[in-house]
Amino acid sequence: MANHKSALKRIRQDEKKREENRYQHKTARNAVRNLRNSSKKKDADELYPKVASMLDKLAKRNIIHKNKAANLKSKLAKHVNSL
């Protein structure tokens, strides 16, 4: 365990960031799942911009890789257009 005051603070900060990142990642995954399961064109059209924005934010913050975000957005757009 860390002995320095600054190291203890860093551990607290890292844990807080980790929890926030996990929450955002899980929320985005659920949104992607909901969009994939949607069968109505109207619902999918409303949901897609929100999901794309979530993925862009995750990529910007290095929670997921930028190419993964791009691939997901591409597949979701293809799904929405096929409805």
- pLDDT given for residue 2 in this prediction: 74
Q: Does domain 5-82 have CATH number 1.20.58.110?
A: yes
Question: Given phi > 0 = left and psi -120 to 50 = alpha, else beta, which region is 13?
Answer: alpha
Domain ranges of the chain: 5-82
What are φ and ψ of residue 61, in 5° steps? -90, 10
pTM confidence score: 0.85
> How much is the pLDDT for 32?
97
pLDDT tens profile 27-82: 999 999 999 999 999 999 999 999 999 999 999 999 999 999 999 999 999 999 99
